[in-house]
């Protein structure tokens, strides 16, 4: 196993392909089945309305508070939906995942829930709180350098040695269907209050949640325009949508939004998003820090940088909001205490 892992660590990054993914696109029925499957295991998170946020944005804003999900992020939905479908034999051999933290915690939590072993490949520079909580759920953690090593190769080598199942963070139909349950839930909550959602801002990394939202909106709220939001310099989804094919981010940049820093959109998720979503938006670290501070002060929510990107886009006026209903998803709350202190300091006094 050690030899295979060494080979995986030294493997050069694979070239991205624009070939269409052979994976089947989940149907609306698949999303609904996922919602039924994870019910009782995943929390139904609240849809909030804040007059302070409306005033700041200049329109009606509905905030989906997925920071209150078990494990602190939406990732639990996709991981659970995937892992609940494993056979008893597969469960006995365990699972392997690679993640900067939120998917890691989701897989580790789900593995403990289902009584199976889990190995999680995490970057060395992931927030310490995410590494600690992943271990706290009972998972074995393998650390790697996100800038020089290939996490998929490392995870694949471990899975091959152990006969374990890889649970990808986004390139999987069951994972995307699970993330789509967030959209079904939020759109239903909005409709129950008499709201028709005109536009949706969602934090975007590899595109799993964006793809789930796109499929759900297409099926139950076709008027809703989905807009992925990414950090500047990590706007691979936005640029891929603009250019009509998957593109990579330029190396050498960093962002505090660790949860949504990816080199390129997934082939599967981009294939879903390309014909179904609107223009991608970009936010700076400074705008994200301001959004985190606003969430603490006005919304009484703790939001991590990657989970605050969509809120940052709304607060910075990147889309017209007057006379419209905008939904914003805050996707995760597993923030490093140092980043939280920095955000509060940037904004003044929360």
Q: Which residues contact 219 (CB under 8 A, 6 or more apart)?
A: 28, 31
Angle in degrees, 0-180, between the axes of helices 75-83 and 102-114, rounded to the nearest 10: 40
What pLDDT, on a 0 to 100 scale, did the predictor assign at position 13? 36
138 has a pLDDT exceeding 80: yes
pLDDT at 26 over 90: yes
Check residues 12 and 219 and name the one with the higher pLDDT: 219
Q: What is the pLDDT of residue 71?
A: 94
The share of the chain scoring above pLDDT 90, in percent, equals 86
Residue spans of the domains in the chain: they are 28-73+173-347, 76-166
Q: pTM of the predicted model, to two decimals?
A: 0.91
What confidence score (pLDDT) does residue 347 get? 46
pLDDT band, very low/low/confident/very high, at 179 (cuts 50, 70, 90): very high
The predicted model gives 25-34 an average pLDDT of 98
Mean pLDDT, all residues of the chain: 92
Query: For position 5, what pLDDT does the model report?
Result: 53
Q: So what's the pLDDT on residue 348?
A: 44
Q: What is the model's pLDDT at position 17?
A: 46
Q: Which pLDDT score is estimated for 101? A: 86
pLDDT at position 4 is 47
Which one is predicted more confidently, 214 or 1? 214
**DSSP per-residue codes, 92-154:** HH-EEEE-SSHHHHHHHHHHHHHT--EEEEEETTS-HHHHHHHHHTT-EEEEE-TTTS-HHHH
pLDDT tens-digit profile of 262-313?
Answer: 999 999 999 999 999 999 999 999 999 999 999 999 999 999 999 999 999 9
Answer yes or no: same fold for 28-73+173-347 and 76-166. Answer: yes
- What is the mean pLDDT of the segment spanning 100-114? 95
What are 36-91's pLDDT values in tens digits? 999 999 999 999 999 999 999 999 999 999 999 999 999 999 999 999 999 999 99
CATH code of domain 76-166: 3.40.50.1100
Q: Is the pLDDT of residue 125 over 60?
A: yes
| pLDDT at 12 exceeding the cut of 50 | no
Cα 111 to Cα 8: distance, rounded to the nearest angstrom: 24
Residue for token pair 């050690």: 2
pLDDT at 346: 54
Question: Domain 28-73+173-347's class?
Answer: alpha beta
List helix spans (H) across the chain: 2-10, 28-38, 51-57, 75-83, 88-93, 102-114, 128-136, 151-162, 173-192, 208-220, 236-243, 267-273, 285-294, 305-315, 337-347
Q: How confident is the model at residue 8 (pLDDT cuts 50, 70, 90)?
A: low
The pLDDT of residue 22 is: 87
pLDDT in tens, 227-270: 999 999 999 999 999 999 999 999 889 999 999 999 999 999 99
């Amino acid at each position: 196993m050690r030899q295979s892992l060494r080979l995986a660590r030294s493997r050069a990054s694979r070239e991205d392909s624009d070939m269409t993914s052979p994976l089947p696109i989940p149907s609306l029925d698949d999303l609904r089945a996922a919602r039924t499957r994870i019910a009782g295991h995943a929390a139904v998170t609240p849809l909030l309305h804040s007059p302070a946020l409306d005033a700041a944005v200049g329109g009606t804003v509905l905030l989906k508070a997925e920071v209150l999900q078990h494990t602190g992020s939406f990732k639990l939905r996709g991981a659970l939906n995937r892992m609940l479908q494993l056979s008893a034999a597969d469960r006995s051999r365990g699972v392997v995942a690679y993640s900067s933290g939120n998917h890691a915690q989701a897989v580790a939590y789900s593995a403990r829930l289902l009584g199976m072993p889990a190995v999680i490949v995490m970057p060395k520079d992931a927030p310490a709180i995410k590494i600690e909580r992943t271990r706290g759920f009972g998972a074995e953690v393998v650390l790697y350098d996100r800038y020089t090593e290939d996490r998929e190769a490392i995870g694949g080598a471990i899975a091959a040695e152990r006969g374990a199942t890889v649970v990808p963070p986004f390139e999987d139909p069951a994972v995307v269907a699970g993330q789509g349950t967030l959209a079904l839930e939020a759109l239903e909550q909005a409709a129950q209050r008499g709201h028709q959602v005109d536009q949706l801002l969602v934090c975007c990394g590899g595109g799993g949640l964006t793809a789930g939202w796109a499929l759900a909106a297409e099926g139950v709220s076709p008027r809703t325009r989905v807009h992925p939001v990414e950090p500047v310099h990590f706007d691979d989804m936005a640029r891929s949508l603009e250019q009509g094919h998957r593109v990579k981010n330029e190396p050498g940049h960093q962002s505090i939004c660790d949860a949504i820093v990816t080199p390129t959109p997934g082939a599967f998720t981009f294939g879903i998003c390309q014909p179904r979503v609107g223009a991608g938006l970009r936010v700076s670290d400074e705008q994200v820090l301001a959004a985190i501070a606003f969430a603490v002060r006005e919304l009484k929510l703790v939001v991590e940088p990657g989970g605050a990107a969509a809120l940052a886009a709304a607060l910075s006026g990147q889309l017209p909001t007057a006379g419209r209903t905008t939904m914003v998803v805050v996707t995760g709350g597993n923030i490093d205490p140092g980043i939280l202190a920095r955000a509060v300091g940037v904004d003044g006094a929360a």
